[in-house]
Amino acid sequence: MRITALAGGVGGARFLRGLLAAAPNATVTVIGNIGDDMTMHGLRICPDLDTVMYTLGGGIHEEQGWGRTEETFGVADELKAYGVGPDWFTLGDKDIATHLVRTQMLGAGYPLSEVTEALCTRWELPVRLLPSTDDRVETHVVVDDAEAPGGRRAVHFQEYWVRMHAPDARAIVSVGVESAKPAPGVLEAIAEADVIVLPPSNPVVSIGTILDIPGIRRAVADAAAPVVGLSPIVGGGPVRGMADKVLAAVGVEVSAAAVAEHYGADLLDGWLVDADADTGAVARVEAAGIACRAVPLMMSSPQATQAMAQAALDLAAELAAAKAAAARTATGSASD
């Protein structure tokens, strides 16, 4: 079975681990978000790709969900001694090695997809990790700022999230997205998949950014495979992160059903909401033309996460079977 998943950072990476446990023999391609990439201290940093890589490669700081286990901060302490900022983003030594290799390869002319492949080789990754694009796309968030002209200013997503701790957002801007092209292999991985999964990653600044790269949304919508997503909204809010703030910025209600409607029936075939979701959620999603099931959606343990992934695969199988049956019926009718 070929599974293609779109993924953000911590939540996506954790879900992918459950997916690999649920489908140990599947060939999994992960299309990663690069919208929160940034350059700091001259180093090119890809937080979401690295979180997926470290998580699936066994190098992640488990409790934290991002960064390296047994990390040290010799470089960061010294940068501080030099008075070199920013002070709101601290890079660990092991992590810096990843960025040094990446920055040097990018500088030598390799596209990010080849750099990512080279980095993943060392981690013997059980998936194929592709950046959504080799082009530069940066997510900026428009926030209120009384001192800025017009009372608003745009900040890089990392500054919005890490330094400012996600205040109310007025708009999300993907700088450079119009001219970005899907990275090599991305459209093929979508077209050739047996199942396409949207993990419970941020629907705006993670999966939304991937889908906004010209060609990717259309490819997912047109794919032969069933597309099944999992709600990142559980109990009226995001399990982790700032999905509530960025959903509000794009005018989407913070609910499991509204996120499904936001993705839309042209994209999504199936959707999982949390078992504790309000009783109208499933009906509302189904009314939008998307098959919906309610299952526990808290990634509280590897077993719980695996069960979530299994539920997504079960729904995909159910949708594929129904589609095949419909096709047989249609063919039968046509040949009658």
Residues that bind a second copy (CB under 8 A): 41-43, 71-72, 74-79, 81-84, 92-94, 96-98, 100-101, 103-104, 107, 119, 122
Nearer CB in complex with a second copy: 124/336: 124
**In the complex, minimum distance from the CB of residue 221 to a second copy, in angstroms, rounded to a whole number:** 38
CB of 108 to a second copy, least distance (A): 9
CA–CA distance from 262 to each of 183, 247, 267 (Å)? 25, 9, 10
CA-to-CA separations, 240 to 3, 17, 202, 237, 247, in angstroms, rounded = 25, 17, 9, 9, 14
CB of 71 to a second copy, least distance (A): 8
**Smallest separation, CB 235 to a second copy (Å):** 39
- Nearer Cβ to a second copy (27/69): 69
Instruction: Tell how strand 27-32 and strand 128-131 pair up.
Output: parallel
Q: What is the token pair recorded at 11?
A: 């939540």
Q: Which is nearer to a second copy, 77 or 178 (CB)?
A: 77
Least separation in angstroms between residue 184's CB and a second copy is 22
Q: Are 207 and 6 in contact (CB under 8 A)?
A: yes
In the complex with a second copy, the residue whose CB is nearer, 59 or 203, is: 59
Q: How far apart are CA 194 and CA 167, in angstroms?
A: 39
Within 8 A by CB and 6+ apart from 250, the residues are 171, 172, 204, 208, 262
CB nearer to a second copy: give 74 or 302. 74
Contact at 8 Å (CB) between 205 and 35?
Answer: yes
